[in-house]
């Protein structure tokens, strides 16, 4: 990372960023064409691994790409208030972000799908919910497992 003064490596601070944000953008490679899609997520940390959970339609471009090539890059990003200065090049936004690389894995086991959907729902709403097998069967659920991620933040000093 070029701006070491903005690097976030403390796992508690990374968790704070994950809690604050609600959307992750996933970058995939569709042959020679990049493809990026924003999705709502849930997450958990297991040891040194960050696991992001997602759901989507059972068919579509995203799932087709991930079945051919499950290597992804992702970012979680929260924009804060604007930074305004007299010098236009110094303007911008305060922000918090995480970027990482990982592999996408489709979750087929019904109980694991229900667990992942529960993690997503809890992160998005702050509430716990139980999902039925029929609800889990109606969607595609996948996770990204990453051991290669870092945070970055521009905040008021």
Answer for the pair 118, 131: CB distance below 8 angstroms, yes or no: yes
The predicted pLDDT at position 69 comes to 96
Q: Is 103 exposed, middle or buried (0-12, 13-18, 19+ CB in 10 A)?
A: middle
| CA atoms of 12 and 48, how far apart (whole Å) | 13
Query: pLDDT confidence of 43, banded at 50, 70, 90?
Result: very high
Residue tagged 């992942």 (tokens): 116
pLDDT at site 81: 66
Nearest C-alpha neighbor of 98 from the set 136, 51, 33, 28: 51
Tell me how far apart the alpha carbons of residues 50 and 46 are, in angstroms, rounded to a whole number: 6
pLDDT in tens, 82-141: 556 676 666 665 568 899 999 999 999 999 999 999 999 999 999 999 999 999 999 999
């Amino acid at each position: 990372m070029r701006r070491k003064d903005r690097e976030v490596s403390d796992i508690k601070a990374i968790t704070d960023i994950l809690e604050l944000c609600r959307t992750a953008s996933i970058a995939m490679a569709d042959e020679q064409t990049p493809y990026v899609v924003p999705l709502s997520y849930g997450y958990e940390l297991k040891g040194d691994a960050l696991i992001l959970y997602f759901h989507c339609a059972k068919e579509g471009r995203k799932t087709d790409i991930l079945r051919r090539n499950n290597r992804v890059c992702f970012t979680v990003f929260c924009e804060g208030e604007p930074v305004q200065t007299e010098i236009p090049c110094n303007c911008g936004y305060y922000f918090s972000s995480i970027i990482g690389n990982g592999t996408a894995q489709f979750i087929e086991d019904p109980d694991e799908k229900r667990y992942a959907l529960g993690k997503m729902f809890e992160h998005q709403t702050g509430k716990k919910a139980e999902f039925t097998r029929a609800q889990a069967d109606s969607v595609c659920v996948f996770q990204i497992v990453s051991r290669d991620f870092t945070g970055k933040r521009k905040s008021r000093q």
